[in-house]
Amino acid sequence: MNLENATIITAMVTPFDENGAIDFAKLPQLVNHLLDNHTEGIILAGTTGESPTLTHDEEIELFNEVIRLVDGRVPIICGVGTNDTRDSVEFVKELSAIRGIDAGLAVVPYYNKPNQEGLYQHFKAIAEASDLPIILYNVPGRTVASLDVATSLRLAELDNIIAIKECAGLDALTELIEKAPKDFLVYTGEDSLAFATKALGGQGVISVASHIFGTEMYEMFQALDQEEVKKAASIQRQVLPKMNALFSVPSPAPVKAVLNHLGVSVGDLRLPLVSCTSEEKAKILSILDF
């Protein structure tokens, strides 16, 4: 399954039980909630899925179970990137053998701060390690290192690199949309830029807020596709403060708090992340009018 029709991809939270183990019994409700609210692709073991705290075996088990639950309804994208190129290469080779994984998401290496040539060679090695399509993930707010647009465009010429999740701002998104190959998909990783990215001609958003506002985001994109810009802009204005509330403390604490409040049980977080305090949760729910 390809991503050509996937405009709203949810970076899914990982549900945990009271002992901090992955709660596989909670996955069916979560997956169905996302699909019922217009999620058109699911990312597993990304930042929102608390990937730094998941073991290799946990990730494989999570991938296989969500593949089973989704049953081909939307593309499944799995986090494959680390700050060790060799480890990432071995992982993508392993995942390419799992039927039902449609792409891998490879984040910019963190902590070791490679230069642009190092970043290029890192992603090139991952892309050439298997036939699994690769999505670049540029998130300088978390990794410090950042893909220059020129490096992203250079990587976009490689056959197996099909898309980017770009979190370096509107200027970078605009240049990528203008200059990338026509079959290269440009997603924003910032919910607040979903409207602008789609309006500029990008593919859409890889989202956290779609856990809660998937239907509103879908209606906004539909309005843009139908050239109803005023309607789309109105939706954006109404939902933007609510999206921002989902990032008022380190993510995914707010979205997990809201999901639990709505009855979609996902549990708490793994250290070093902590759940919202009662005061933080009350403020978030007040802004969301829940």
Quick check: 136 pLDDT over 80? yes
- In degrees and rounded to multiples of 5, residue 205 shows phi and psi of -135, 140
The Cα–Cα gap between 119 and 289 comes to 43
Q: Which helix (H) or strand (E) holds 44?
A: strand 41-44
The pLDDT assigned to 45 comes to 98
pLDDT digits (tens, 9 = 90+) for 185-209: 999 999 999 999 999 999 999 999 9
Mean pLDDT, residues 134-140 taken together? 97
The pLDDT assigned to 199 comes to 97
**The pair of three-digit structure tokens given for residue 126, joined into one six-digit string:** 């991952």
pLDDT digits (tens, 9 = 90+) for 212-255: 999 999 999 999 999 999 999 999 999 999 999 999 999 999 99
Nearest Cα to Cα of residue 266 among 57, 15, 10, 3:
15
Mean pLDDT, residues 27-54 taken together? 97
The Cα–Cα gap between 227 and 35 comes to 25
DSSP structure class, residue 16: B
Mean pLDDT, residues 63-67 taken together? 98
List residues with catalytic annotation: 137, 165
Mean pLDDT, residues 87-101 taken together? 97
Residues 6+ apart with CB under 8 A from 43: 9, 10, 11, 12, 49, 77, 78, 79, 105, 206
CB 10 within 8 A of CB 259: no
Question: Vertex 56, ends 132 and 270: CA angle to 5°?
Answer: 120
Q: How confident is the model at residue 2 (pLDDT cuts 50, 70, 90)?
A: confident
**The pair of three-digit structure tokens given for residue 175, joined into one six-digit string:** 């240049």
The Cα–Cα gap between 281 and 290 comes to 11
- Cβ density class 4-28: b for 16+ within 10 Å, e for less: eebbbbbbbbbbbeeeeebbeebbe
Q: Is the pTM of this model over 0.95?
A: yes
The pLDDT assigned to 285 comes to 98
Nearest Cα to Cα of residue 117 among 157, 154, 168, 165:
154
Residues listed for the chain: 290
Quick check: 1 pLDDT over 90? no
Mean pLDDT, residues 271-283 taken together? 98
Q: How confident is the model at residue 90 (pLDDT cuts 50, 70, 90)?
A: very high
Percent of the chain with pLDDT over 90: 97
Mean pLDDT for all residues in the chain: 97
Question: Vertex 260, ends 243 and 267: CA angle to 5°?
Answer: 115
